[in-house]
Amino acid sequence: MEQSIIFFDIDGTLVDEQKNVPQSAKDAIRELQNQGHIVAIATGRPQFMFKEIREQLGIDTYVSYSGQYVVLNGEVIYTNPIHKESLEQLTKIALEHNHPVLLIDDKEMRATVPDDEFVAQGFGMLLNYVKLSQVEAEFIQTGSVYQASLFCSTEDQQLYDAIFPALSFIRWSPISADVLPAGGSKLEGIRKITEKLGIPPERQYAFGDALNDMEMLSGITNSVAMGNGLPEVKAVAKFVTKTNEDDGIAHGLKLVGLL
């Protein structure tokens, strides 16, 4: 069998509602690896917030920060931080409009309003992984922020869309949007890996469920939306599997003929 590469989103896809990887998914991934395929992750999470999952599944190739930090076989091959001037202006305008902003570099997350209820609501259980600190000017000026989250309504986001053409705002919940460099996406991160490996489109697979997976599922030849995915996500995928709570990964891999 020719080697394929399979990318899995994490939240809503690879893990269940308790943020655990179901046994059926673990078994399916082990079988893929035994067959010689490459199993990879494509997530909006920073790499320090899914280290345990990578170690548990024996995965060392991944796209994190929705495409802005890409690792192949344990080696960083691509980074795309947000421009510092854009970040400074974004946080300034957001504070003026009472919209919290979460900034993430390669080691930690910081927020302009760390105790904001919407930040806690948006990230929920993920905040158990890190201690959320206050954003300071030095954090932006000296570090590399690969992704941010802007907490505002869809209507309010129009203000930022107009002011920041160098940034992309990708909704992932009614209260928040991911902030990336313009053109940045999971799909672009995936291409950094597949081009380096020389794996053709017909042997590329991707699983996802949310709005930040839409470009990935639209652009990958063999794309699978989870049964618990949003309707618009299912509409762009080639296949729709069962939910993440009902052995959706294993079922989806059978659907596409890998198991």
The 10s digit of each residue's pLDDT in 67-117 is 999 999 999 999 999 999 999 999 999 999 999 999 999 988 888 886 767
The residue annotated as part of the active site, out of 9, 11, 105, 213, is: 9
CB 253 within 8 A of CB 30: no
Q: 3-class DSSP state for residue 21? A: coil
Q: Which two tokens stand for residue 248?
A: 């959706």
Amino acid 129: pLDDT: 45
Q: Cα separation of 116 and 10, whole Å?
A: 25
Q: Cα separation of 210 and 173, whole Å?
A: 9
Q: Could you read off the pLDDT of 179-214 as tens digits, one per residue?
A: 999 999 999 999 999 999 999 999 999 999 998 999
Query: Other C-beta atoms within 10 Å of 63: how many?
Result: 31
Which residues lie closer than 8 Å to 103 by C-beta, 6 or more apart?
A: 87, 91, 109, 110, 111, 135, 139, 140, 145, 148
116 is catalytic: no
Q: What domains sit in the chain, N to C, each tagged with a CATH number?
A: 5-79+184-255 (3.40.50.1000), 84-181 (3.30.1240.10)
Q: Which two tokens stand for residue 79?
A: 């980074």
Q: Cα separation of 232 and 254, whole Å?
A: 23
Q: Cα separation of 15 and 31, whole Å?
A: 18
- Chain centroid, CA 55 distance in Å: 18
**DSSP assignment of 139-168:** HHHHS---EEEEE--HHHHHHHHHH-TTEE
Q: φ, ψ for residue 16 (rounded to 5)?
A: -90, -170
pTM summary value: 0.92
